Structure 1
Amino acid sequence: MNKITLKLGLWFFFVMLMIQVCLFFVLHTGLVESRVEEELDALLARGNSHREVLEDSFHAETLHHIALMELKADTEVIITDDAQKILISSSKVDAGEKKIVSKKLKDIPRGGMILESRWKNEKYISTVSPYTAGENQSGYVYMFKSTDQIQQLISKLNQHLLFAAAVMFILLIITNLFLSKALTTPLIQMKQATEKLSKGDFSVQLPDRGDDELGELSRSITILAQDLKRLKEQRNEFLSSISHELRTPLTYIKGYADVARRKSIEEADREHYLQIIYEESERLSAMMKDLFDLAKLDRHAFIIQRTNIHLSSYLATVYEKMMPAFQEKEIRLDMNCDETLYVMVDPVRFEQILFNLLDNAIKYSDPHTKTSVIAQQEKGEVFIAIRDEGAGIPQEDLPFVFDRFYRVDKSRSRHLGGTGLGLSIVKELVEAHGGRIEVKSERNKGTAFVIWLKEEKE
């Protein structure tokens, strides 16, 4: 048996055992007291009944009849006069009864009273009822019941309670075994799952255990395992992509450097090779810068200094900077921005976002197409949409466009340039501004990137 099962089982067993002991003690005490009280009430009622008979007809025959009735019952009766002198009794009066009858009586109520109720230590329990038969005759009706009979009743009651306690004890043990097993089994499975996770084994799949806390914990561990597995795969893919991306420019640089060093080549060819080396060095430098930016973003070390800017004026500046690149490729660039919009952004970092998205529009759009930048307010938020009429992105690629080194162009054609990190940086920067970015695209009809930001007042 596992330690947690044993501990939980023992703890639950002792707690439930103490609860049951307390409950049985209260139940036993209550039942005993209730049973004794019933006997005393019945005894007093019987004495009052004899009193009524005496008051209706006080004769020697009546006294004899009452004594005869009690002789055949499990109770006894003693009838006395006003001086407590015994007139008649249903059986021979013993010392215990004499002791009770000899007690001085004062202010006995009409309904009678209990004289002795100590059933544990005395031989009898007893009641007394006063009677008045005419002007010259009065006295008392004493009723007695042996405590041996009470003890027998209590003994039978104890036997029944002990039997019930034994059954409850057995049921408690069985319930405890099943319950502790039911509670600890998922905990043990979760412990084993976390041990597998700590060893790098992410193939963890815990069963669904409902909507309670254990079920939520089980699902959380399963989700954690899936996330860790995905992160491991992404890390491996990331390292593989870095290796590929770095190896390609380094291979070009080394290869063309070896060729350029040859003394036998023409000067024009040497210049051409040196130009390729320069371009690959620039590409490698841009990639390293992007990687450093992503590393800073991952460590939350990327400083965002936001300020409240007038969006229309800001986008006009971006428009002027990007316009020559669009004109060179003969792509029309339109801009439409609400003049009343203000947003809280880092001007430098947000410009990096827009340049990256506009640069993608240039790369993937044909001449004589149009790219639009639209900024409007909607439900307390500002959205900035950059739409082009380029090649578009296949639907199966849309969920991954913000992944690092992911390229829609699987051939990784070099004429489009880029490091495969631009959109990852864009997403990280947008989220660092407290916003979100969405992408919509249709093949051969164009792509739209939409940035959502919180609107600020002037």
Structure 2
Amino acid sequence: MKKLSIKLGIVFFLIIFSLEIFMFFFLHAALVDSRIEEEFFSLQARGNAHRDILEKHFEPDTISHVTLMESEANTDVVITDMNGQLLGSSVKSIDIQDHINRSDSDIPRDGEVVDDNWKEGKFISTVSPIDINGETSGKVFMFQETASIHSLIERLNRHFILTGLIAVFLTLIVIIFLSKGLAKPLIRMKEATSKISKGDFTISLPKNRNDELGDLANSISQLASDLNYLTQERNDFLASISHELRTPLTYIKGYADIVLKRNLSIEDRDKYLIIIHEEVNRLSDLIKDLFDLAKMDKNSFVIQKRPIDLTDFFLKIEQKFSPAFQEKELEFEVICPEGAVIIADPARLEQIIFNLLDNAIKHSSPGAKTFLSINNKKKDVYINVRDNGKGIPEEDLPYILNRFYRVDKSRTRSLGGTGLGLAIVKELVLAHGGTIAVKSKEGIGTEFELVFKGADNIENDTIS
């Protein structure tokens, strides 16, 4: 848990911290430049104000008054004539001569900056021209020590450092909660998948999220449910096949031992050999059905489709099955319109119908009737097998097409069969691209409805 949250926290912190550093440096540089510009503008404006006064009264008393005013301020003023001769000054330093010598003779009316090297110089300075009667009669130099600017920048730096520390602290708090919030459901999902890998499908994940993590949790829960179902189905399948194989083998071994070890009459020997033969046939049918289902599961079951005239096809079905229905004292009726055509594998379609009719024979009492009807609806072909036998209990209907599922839980062998017939029907119908549905009520009967695409809807006659 800690590893994932720490990794997420480090990634988020590096990203957010990098963005904060960039923004802080950008904002700091902008503020420093803005403050320095304000200092120069203020210094220039003060010099221009003195210049305006001196242009009205360019006299020693006025010059003395101006210098006196600046001596009490944090800036200094120097007034010279056009030749650089000092007329008045509030500066006590001897370093101002270089600044005076640097000024040009042609000075703009609004003045100009003489020295802007605030990082290394002792002063910054500006100059304003004194124009009297259209001629420049002198200059007003304004000076400000750079120490005050450095002090301002230091205060600004302290504020930025304090703000940066607070921002980093708050970022860490947010990242801790964010990383834990993201990591917690992921870790629970990881633990859930670990339990699934060990065969424990009893997992519980939160389902109150409406985002991608919620979708992932729902997918994992669904996966666990599906795997649990498949595991249970596999166990039931193995138990069923073990039972189905053991029973005929037990019969074969038992009666073979009787035939070999006892002196039997020819009639008894023939009777036991017939039983052995029947069980061998039953075992052979079971293995064949299992082999077919295995090929279907591996998608290696080939369906060879071709056009089938259902009128002729079901006439042959009726001829084949009528004796079996008559033997059980059952009625059998086929209803098929002229010209009905379907694209299907004839052998597999016959296998489907055979299993459904055989199922109807086994579960119908004497005098019952079975209908095999065909209808065309919206270019689809509907095949219905309906009987009025004993029916299927409602609780068994959802599982009746499962492998080895039997309504008779005692697995009585009086009706024969392997429990795979309807499962094979379902797989064969799906392999044809069709659907199968079953309706039934106890004491009323059962109806299987198969829906296949008609000839007009089929583009390929052969699929694998």
The TM-score normalised by the length of structure 2 is: 0.85
- Counterpart CA distance in 2 for 1:249 and 1:209 is 53
CA contact (8 A) 1:130 1:140 kept: yes
Q: How does 1:19-418 map to 2 (within 5 A)?
A: 19-92=19-92, 94-95=94-95, 97-105=96-104, 107-136=106-135, 138-208=137-207, 210-260=209-259, 267-309=266-308, 314-328=313-327, 329-336=329-336, 339=339, 342-343=342-343, 345-366=344-365, 367-378=367-378, 382-418=381-417
- Cα gap change, 1:37 to 1:235, in 2 (>3 Å): same
1:62 Cα shift? 4.2
Q: 2:18 corresponds to which letter in structure 1?
A: M
- Counterpart CA distance in 2 for 1:102 and 1:286 is 118
Give 2:462's aligned residue.
none
Give 1:440's aligned residue.
439
- Counterpart CA distance in 2 for 1:337 and 1:39 is 103
- Cα gap change, 1:453 to 1:36, in 2 (>3 Å): farther
- Counterpart CA distance in 2 for 1:313 and 1:304 is 21
- Counterpart CA distance in 2 for 1:377 and 1:225 is 40
- Cα gap change, 1:136 to 1:193, in 2 (>3 Å): closer
CA contact (8 A) 1:392 1:441 kept: yes
- Counterpart CA distance in 2 for 1:338 and 1:117 is 107
Report the secondary structure of 1:440's partner residue: strand
Give 2:18's aligned residue.
18
CA contact (8 A) 2:355 2:421 kept: yes
1:193 Cα shift? 3.3
Please, what is the CA RMSD of the aligned residues?
3.1
- Counterpart CA distance in 2 for 1:301 and 1:393 is 33
Q: 1:10 corresponds to which letter in structure 2?
A: I
- Counterpart CA distance in 2 for 1:267 and 1:237 is 42
Q: 1:436 corresponds to which letter in structure 2?
A: T
Q: 1:389 corresponds to which letter in structure 2?
A: N
CA contact (8 A) 1:338 1:376 kept: no
CA contact (8 A) 2:360 2:370 kept: no
- Cα gap change, 1:31 to 1:254, in 2 (>3 Å): same
- Counterpart CA distance in 2 for 1:317 and 1:439 is 25
The TM-score normalised by the length of structure 1 is: 0.86
CA contact (8 A) 1:376 1:384 kept: no
Report the secondary structure of 2:131's partner residue: strand
- Counterpart CA distance in 1 for 2:338 and 2:109 is 101
Identity score, percent: 49
1:147 Cα shift? 1.3
1:318-355 CA deviation, whole Å, 9 max, x = no partner?
45544444454432323345846543x33322332232
Report the secondary structure of 1:334's partner residue: strand
1:236 Cα shift? 1.6
1:391 Cα shift? 2.6
- Counterpart CA distance in 1 for 2:310 and 2:62 is 117
- Counterpart CA distance in 1 for 2:86 and 2:342 is 112
- Counterpart CA distance in 2 for 1:408 and 1:324 is 27
Q: 2:226 corresponds to which letter in structure 1?
A: D
1:284 Cα shift? 1.7
Aligned length: 455
CA contact (8 A) 1:438 1:449 kept: yes
- Cα gap change, 1:100 to 1:252, in 2 (>3 Å): same
- Cα gap change, 1:285 to 1:42, in 2 (>3 Å): same
Q: 2:164 corresponds to which letter in structure 1?
A: A
Q: Which moved more, 1:410-419 or 1:317-326?
A: 317-326
Report the secondary structure of 1:416's partner residue: coil
- Counterpart CA distance in 2 for 1:216 and 1:279 is 54
Q: Which moved more, 1:112-121 or 1:28-37?
A: 112-121
- Cα gap change, 1:67 to 1:346, in 2 (>3 Å): farther
Q: 1:43 corresponds to which letter in structure 2?
A: L
- Cα gap change, 1:125 to 1:348, in 2 (>3 Å): farther
- Cα gap change, 1:392 to 1:141, in 2 (>3 Å): farther
- Cα gap change, 1:128 to 1:394, in 2 (>3 Å): farther
Report the secondary structure of 1:414's partner residue: coil
CA contact (8 A) 1:374 1:386 kept: no
- Counterpart CA distance in 1 for 2:12 and 2:363 is 68
